[in-house]
């Protein structure tokens, strides 16, 4: 059972480049989330998808877009990367708000 698989693990971009972070879960979870983690800031919610076919903004959505491709997959896209988007990104999923979040292994993104 793989859980939450997140790719890539590391990425370096130049300012203005675009990229997509991929996330897939094999636990048949309805809800999926994208967070960013910066030193001293904890985990901040970027976007989430409560169920297949829906997406909603979190605390810090500017500069990002998401796609809930199907129940398993939830991708995060940076259309024009900025140095302020240098961060560690985590994807997570859960079956309900009474259950824990299962996290991917994270993506270390650097934007130069």
Partner 1 sequence: QKEVEQNSGPLSVPEGAIASLNCTYSDRGSQSFFWYRQYSGKSPELIMSIYSNGDKEDGRFTAQLNKASQYVSLLIRDSQPSDSATYLCAGANTGNQFYFGTGTSLTVIP
Residues that bind partner 1 (CB under 8 A): 31, 33, 35, 40-45, 48, 50, 56, 58-59, 90, 92, 94, 97-98, 100-101, 103-106
Least distance between partner 1 and beta carbon 50 (Å): 4
Least distance between partner 1 and beta carbon 49 (Å): 9
Q: How far is CA 97 from CA 36, 66, 103, 110, 111, in A?
A: 20, 21, 14, 31, 33
Least distance between partner 1 and beta carbon 103 (Å): 4
Between the two ends of the chain, the Cα-to-Cα distance in Å is: 36
Contact 16, 111 (CB under 8 A): no
Nearer to partner 1, 16 or 57 (CB): 57
Residue 102 pairs in a beta bridge with 93
Nearer to partner 1, 19 or 50 (CB): 50
């Amino acid at each position: 059972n793989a859980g939450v698989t997140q790719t890539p693990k590391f990425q370096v971009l130049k300012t203005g480049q675009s990229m997509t972070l991929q996330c897939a879960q094999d636990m048949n979870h309805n809800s999926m989330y994208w967070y960013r983690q910066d030193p001293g800031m904890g985990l901040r919610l970027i976007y989430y998808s409560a169920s297949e076919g829906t997406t909603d903004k979190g605390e810090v959505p500017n500069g990002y877009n998401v796609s809930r491709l199907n129940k398993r997959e939830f991708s995060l896209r940076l259309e024009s990367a900025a140095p302020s988007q240098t961060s560690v990104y985590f994807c997570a999923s859960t079956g309900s708000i009474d259950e824990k979040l299962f996290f991917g292994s994270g993506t270390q993104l650097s934007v130069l």
